[in-house]
Chain A
Amino acid sequence: MRTKFRYVAAAFGLTASLALAGCAAAAPEASDSIVIDTAFTLETSDPGRNYVPTGYMVSKALYETLLDFAGSDESTPVEGLASYESNDDATVFTFTLKDGRVFSDGSAITADDVVFSLNRVAGMTESKANFLMNGITVTKIDDMTVELSTETPSLKLPALMTNPSLAILNSALVIENGGTTDDSDAAEAFLNETSAGSGPYILDTVNFESQVVLTENENYNGDEDIDFTRVVIRNVSEAATQKINLEGDDSQVAVDLSGDQVASLSDGINVFSTPSAQTIFLLINQSEEVGGVTSNPDFANAVRYALDYPALLELAGAGSEQATGVIPPSFLGALENGVDQELDVAAASLEASGYDGESITLEYPNDYPVGGVSFTPLAERIQSQLADAGITIELAPAPFTTQIDSYVNGTEAFSIWFWGPDYADSANFLPFSAGQKVGLRAGWTAEQDTDVVNLAAAAENATNFDERETAFSNFAEALQQRGPFVPLIVPGSNIATASYIDGVAYNSTWTMDIAELQAK
């Protein structure tokens, strides 16, 4: 019998040493390959069909857009592939392509590529990014100039043109592989294997479940100079695992770390903490049959003044700030400061709302941390704070996929949700208005508050810069007073990198531009 054990023992010894060998292979020196860990939300690498963060990060590296942003400043778009002027009532925008720029296969970028790329997104009604092109008509002026026009004034158009979904594709190559400008387009399969853009990287391999590999685009002649020739973006859904991988030097960039995790990072790791553009808010349904007592405006006020915001902020950790309104801090028209807890106002409003102690269900997605803030602890703290103020709350978490259904159909009486801009412009937050998309989800119809509706219209159709700014801040102020939403937290974006990496600039759409990463 004893001989039996020698075999078994030897077997274990062997595998242990193998593990060591395996680990030594990834020794921590600054190679020109970089690994980025993020929780994948990746369904396609066809920019025209993409509408999710990881997809934007990949498209940003593979493709270029007409306009761009400098670093993390998202207030004014700068030149990308083209420069632009607009007429005075902001309905016609003329884009002139920079000359000499080429795609990854060496062919020149022309106006035809721009017209094809934009019309393709406009034509593909089943693409989730389709709505970006609503109301915009594209006309070619000459080989290097294209004109975009809208019926109503659209100061947000330049910001739209920075969105990677409207990236400029190599039209010849895409058409050759089944690309069209309507729903019959079949280029997605091709674009899921090879990239047809002009960005600093080209697509090497992609597996939507596990990882995407980008390699340097030799023919790139833009002004980004990249330090990493091979980029691996890996799907690591657990933020905790991302942290371990980063500290174990198994990865070089961790994108979704939470505030708490960043606080306890070991030294020798850089952290780039800035408020993101997401806003986590409470939704209080205004329709009688959906919410019952919640439809009484006083109830919303009671909740608004009962909450202890600093105690909620504590859960979000580094980089996060208290939300001052529906417009996040770095955007046009954001308010200076948010609401403070006033228990007596809360008690009075609760009394006025006719609430008689019945239990209200707080619904929220429990598997979708936003900016590292997971909703479960947040909901539990809200529950206990409202309990202290006399409102009994029962929690009903559900996976994102089931919860989004009742959110979109406006059947949630009381819930936690979040809203992030689709493109970097305050126009993104007008849907919060009464009768608009998000407003309707809270049962807030236009008739209930015509004043707010007018404020929103004023912001939408402003034709000059200052007029637009005051219109947006008035809109935000009105929502803070009588809107069915209680903005809570703007979570921080905490991107952590290995010590030798710099150049991380947060962006609300594509999170960070991989091309700007440098090795110190």
Chain B
Amino acid sequence: MIDAPTPESADAASAASTPVLTVDGLTIGIGSRNNVKSIVKGISLALTPGRVQGLAGESGSGKTVTSLAMLGLLPSNAVVGGSIRLTDPEGGDTELVGMSHRQLNEIRGRRIAMIFQDPSSSLHPQLTVGVQLTDHVTRHLKLSKKQAREHAIGLLDRVRVPNPAEALGRYPHQFSGGQRQRIAIAIALACDPVVLLADEPTTALDVTVQAGILHLLRDLADERQLAVLLVTHDLGVMSAIADDIAVMRHGEIVESNVRHNIFANPQHAYTRELLSSLPGAEGFQEVSE
């Protein structure tokens, strides 16, 4: 049973803790020198530890590009404006926009991690799960082979992958879709990041498996005080675990509020339109185990 926070307590929690990642007036354009097609036209949102920030919108709204911008994974012909600030553990902020690839590599996977839509293609088909779980850990945390292995087994156990020790030696194609996404999550959490970006994490999975993954994400957020950005077009998924929801259309955030308010009384016409497209959309729905 996902114990979704009741509306009142959610608001109180968000006011108290300071955001770990703030996006302020972010603009993203793609194209060569003269004709730049702008995709994201100035959006702002903040990710706070322990809370799941939803980013909803149809495909082409720029939501995935926004998530990619946070890790600097945009293609070479992308032009990024505005600011994305990550708060350091010792206080103070680091500006990610414009940071060099070498410096970004210290943050990617180490402080901000990401999982992708299709687990069957985001895991390397020719590398064992063990290798993919430890190769970046040895780089970031300078752990020994043995320590990294222990750490990996712990992670797999946490994400409920059956007999983890034996799983390390096996290849992605020997796991089910759900298990593969769990492994991807384990990989993302390997270096204990503060922010987890999830780009359509359940879209490629069948419905029965989706709930398990969402449940896991929710628990991890609470348990590790992880700031999660959940990017999806599926408001049903959003309603399950998102604390706050921002609705994006053509590169702009048209409405951003606590989940309850979005579902209870959507302000913007586009939000209402999105909600009406939900099957059996009589307002707020509780997703049960």
Q: Does a CB–CB distance below 8 Å link A and B in the complex?
A: no
